[in-house]
């Protein structure tokens, strides 16, 4: 799953199309909520339903994001974001209930594999714990800069 963002009246190739998978889009949208709250609404940024920003708002967002990158605020946010997700404790593996060994066979039956009771859990590699799913999401300055460039050249956009 990803977000496909289409420029409404692009002034260059850069403004035609921007795409992020869900692992990059959610942190980008959350960052926009923080640095440009007047341009953020959950309906626009958290769903790929064809909503977006008009040319004026896209241009304003581009200016805000470029200023954040130039000032170093975006890099500081990225550093703090990484520190926060790295500091999260592991969680019990939901596939083996924290035992490190599979004790059910639903997932294997759907693939036709033979179930071996007590086999090491392949979801957590037998550790019984795993990193929280929130650590799967990524934030970096390069993605913000690319989206700012897209916004500046998009003439407004719709998110699909």
Q: What is the distance between the alpha carbons of residues 123 and 118, in angstroms, rounded to a whole number?
A: 14
Quick one: which of 62, 60, 79, 88 has its CA closest to 139?
79
What is residue 137's DSSP assignment? -
Q: Which tens digit of pLDDT belongs to each residue from 13-48?
A: 999 999 999 999 999 999 999 999 999 999 999 999
- Contact between 36 and 148 (Cβ < 8 Å): no
Q: Give me the count of residues in the chain.
A: 160
Domains of the chain by residue range: 2-86+137-159, 90-130
Q: Which tens digit of pLDDT belongs to each residue from 104-157?
A: 555 444 455 555 556 889 889 999 999 999 999 999 999 999 999 999 999 999
97 SS3 class: coil
Question: Hey, how many other C-beta atoms are within 10 angstroms of the C-beta on 130?
Answer: 19
Q: Which tens digit of pLDDT belongs to each residue from 61-102?
A: 999 999 999 999 999 999 999 999 999 999 999 989 999 988
């Amino acid at each position: 799953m990803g977000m496909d963002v289409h420029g409404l009246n692009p002034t260059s190739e850069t403004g035609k199309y921007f795409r992020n998978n869900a692992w990059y889009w959610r942190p980008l949208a959350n960052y926009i909520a923080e640095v440009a709250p007047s341009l953020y609404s959950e309906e626009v940024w958290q769903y790929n339903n064809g909503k977006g920003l008009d040319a004026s708002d896209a241009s304003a967002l581009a200016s805000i994001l470029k200023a954040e990158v130039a000032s170093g605020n975006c890099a500081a946010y990225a550093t703090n974001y990484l520190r926060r997700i790295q500091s999260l404790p592991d969680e019990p593996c939901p596939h083996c209930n924290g035992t490190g060994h599979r004790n059910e066979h639903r997932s294997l039956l759907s693939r036709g594999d033979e179930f071996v009771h007590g086999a090491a859990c392949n979801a957590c590699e037998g550790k019984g714990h795993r990193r929280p799913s929130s650590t799967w999401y990524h934030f970096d300055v390069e993605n913000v800069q690319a989206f700012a460039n897209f916004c500046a050249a998009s003439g407004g956009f719709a998110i699909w």
